[in-house]
Amino acid sequence: MNTIITISRQYGSGGRFVGKLLAEELNIPFYDKEIIAMASEDSGFAQEFIKENEQKMKGLSSFAFTSGMWGGNLVNNFENIESKIYACEADAIEKIAKNGACVIVGRCADYVLKDKCKCLNVFIHADMPSRVERVIKVFQRTDDPKKAERLIKENDRMRA
């Protein structure tokens, strides 16, 4: 039986780190940013373009809920760029899951796979002080705790 684990997480909670450790411990592949590379190949969009537009989306979940209305290859059912990016990432996630056991972080993988296979869906969260500390130490986007908290809140709003 394939062990497919999806990890959703709050920004700065350490979800990617936990996912990577879990994949290493179970000796199974880990996917996160690799999904962007696969979506790039399928869509023809540059990886950097996908990353930039993915961050601007009002939350991938809004595309996840509307995409469930169509069957088949999702990429052909959408007209705007954000929807195509989501559809390409969803197709990549489905291909990954069909290949066998893995850990997939983010990109609404729990929703994409909900009717496709049995998964263990995990959500990683942390309190604000821990998230602020992680953003400062790990992401190194700022050394100011107030700016780090603003980044976290902004990211939370974008993901909502």
Structure confidence by residue, pLDDT tens digits, 102-147: 999 999 999 999 999 999 999 999 999 999 999 999 988 889 999 9
The encoded tokens of residue 47 equal: 């990886």
Residue 46 pLDDT: 93
Which range of residues forms the domain containing residue 145?
128-160
The encoded tokens of residue 23 equal: 């994949």
Element (H, E) at 120: strand 120-124
Distance CA 5, CA 19 (A): 9
Residue 68 pLDDT: 47
Which one, of 2, 21, 27, 28, lies nearest residue 97 by Cα?
2
Query: Contacts for 65-71 with beta carbons within 8 Å, 24 or more apart?
Result: 65/111, 68/111
Are residues 91 and 138 both part of a single domain? no
Are residues 72 and 116 both part of a single domain? yes
The domain total for the chain is 2
Instruction: Give how far Cα 14 sits from Cα of 8, 25, 63, 82, Å.
Output: 11, 16, 25, 26
User: Are 75 and 56 within 8 A, CB to CB?
Assistant: no
Are residues 137 and 78 both part of a single domain? no
Residue 122 pLDDT: 98
Residue 81 pLDDT: 80
Residue 84 pLDDT: 86
Taking 70 as the pLDDT cut, the residues of the chain under it are 1, 55-79
Residue 140 pLDDT: 84
Residue 71 pLDDT: 46
Are residues 121 and 132 both part of a single domain? no
The count of other CB atoms within 10 Å of the CB of residue 135 is: 21
Distance CA 79, CA 69 (A): 15
The model's pTM is: 0.82
The CATH number for 28's domain is 3.40.50.300
Residue 139 pLDDT: 86
User: Are 87 and 33 within 8 A, CB to CB?
Assistant: no
